[in-house]
Amino acid sequence: MVVLHTLLDFLDGNSAVSSSYSHYWYEGRCPESGELLRLPRTFLVEAIAHNLMQHLALNDRYSFEGKMYGVLLVELPTGEQRVLKAFSGLLNGNSIVEGWVPPIPGRDEVALEEARTLAQLEAMKQELITLKQLPERQQYATLFREFEQQLQAMSDRHRDCKHQRQEKRQLIKETLTEKASATALEQLDAESRQHGIERRILKRQQNEVLQPLKQQIEAADARMRELKQRRKELSRQLQAQMHAAYSLTNFAGQSLSLQQLMPGGSMPTGTGDCCAPKLLHYAATQGLKPLAMAEFWWGTSDRDKVQGQFYGACAERCQPLMGFLLSGKPNPPAREGEVLSLSPCRGEVPIIYEDEWLIAVNKPAGLLSVPGRYRDRQDSVLSRLRHLLPDGMTLTTVHRLDQETSGILLLARDRQTHRQLSQQFQQRQVHKVYEAVLSGIVTLDRGAMVGDPPLVIALPLWGDPENRPYQKVDEVRGKPSLTHFQVIAIEGNYTRVNFMPLTGRTHQLRVHAADVRGLGIPILGDRLYGCCAVASRLHLHARELCLQHPQSGQTLHLQANTPF
């Protein structure tokens, strides 16, 4: 089975991509020496990964289920460079696929039990789907809604009748004799009692119709809880067996099982099946020297992963193994300017303006503006500055840039400054200029030529809560979004433009560029919105920011040179 691939399988002979610079490092400490061991994600290996993404995009089977994929650039004993590729877990139900790194040894020992357990889990999954789609659920909802409408209509009618009876009672007391009024009032009381009986009858009918359905639904819910608990137990049993059988080898020639590597630890489902362990284990067993690695998500997006985005070692499954897996690998010295990954206090951020009230930095591409929700996404501009500056803990970001966008980011040093600056952003008093390279040529029918005055794109944006952070144009649910744009230059097959956003919606410039109702051309490197061209990064940079200083009142014009 061919597993080693040449660079020409992923890059053409004219590709000129930096093979050294990195803005992320896979890291871990050697269990024996405590030395910090590191493996970079370079621009070269990212370019290789982008090419693999293009291959995956051509085959629907890779988009059916979302999962992590990875590539590892290695060096043969002869000095030649080759590429390994791997997928996490199973690919279309298979653990061994031609051209991909095989799973870590140990799966064969539990293959029969795994197949039996997976069949049980699949049967449980199908039963859960059937129970969730139980017809009685829709019947109950429909009938419940109909009864509620009847009850509401009855209540409205009874309320009107009650008001009429009150008026009649007052009129009877004023006009009839005591004997005549008693009879008339009794008739009104009887009508009131009849309305009460009518309501109780309808409620009883509702209960008689809905109760059997409710019992079936409750029984189905109880069965679903039982299945989920049993499914969890089966998964844990299978994982325990796998962890005892899986054996990892590092570059020092040491082999240990997952249970030995994480004794007494709570190992999440899938530990040992991720791309990074597969790639590093295979390289170590084959005598290959690892040079750089990159992992990305492809397929259906989930809550935390977006198709085409790069991700570091996951905190729960891979990071605890990284120190052992990298042991025995030559450890290169850090280069000046490299951004490190594990600790939120690692690395510096270029400060382009600073006074006692605010700070403006030139955020690198690939770095978050603020820490994420999970442990492997804590590295950010804010966390770095909070660690590096004496007053860092008082800093707050005034606005944000996407992780893959570089450029000017503004932070306030106190609450009052934050409030004043935020107000300027909210009232659209801040002038922003972004520079971008589009992955195609803007045609004349878009009305934009080099030197023309800025034109406007007005497309309302809406973020689908089921597919975050993806945004799309939606005329009904979307929020108003305005962008001025101006063509700077045509550069080969690309177009360099200025974007001047008047609103600040999530991914506004990226959608306005990519959507056919906007420019119809994705920003170079924007895989989320359809760019297929190989690029080392998202070519979007916040170049200029013009605002009123919250203390002096003078105009503050900030600039950061475009790095592409």
Return the active site residues.
402
Distance of CA 537 to the CA centre of its chain: 18
CA separation for the pair 51, 39 (Å, rounded): 21
Instruction: Kindly state the helix (H) or strand (E) to which residue 189 belongs, with its residue range.
Output: helix 178-245
Asked if residues 408 and 420 have their Cβ atoms less than 8 Å apart, the reply is no
Q: How many CA atoms lie within 13 A of 440 on its CB side?
A: 15
Residue type, 155: S
Alpha helices in 457-546 (DSSP H): 508-514
How many whole angstroms separate alpha carbon 278 and alpha carbon 71? 10
What three-state secondary structure class fits 233?
helix
| E strand or H helix that includes residue 186 | helix 178-245
Token pair for 463: 């973020």
Whole-number Å distance between alpha carbons of 228 and 230: 5
User: SS3 letters for 372-395?
Assistant: CCCHHHCCEHHHHHHHHCCCHHHC
Q: Which one, of 398, 377, 396, 400, lies nearest residue 385 by Cα? A: 396
Phi and psi dihedrals of 61, rounded to 5? -65, -25
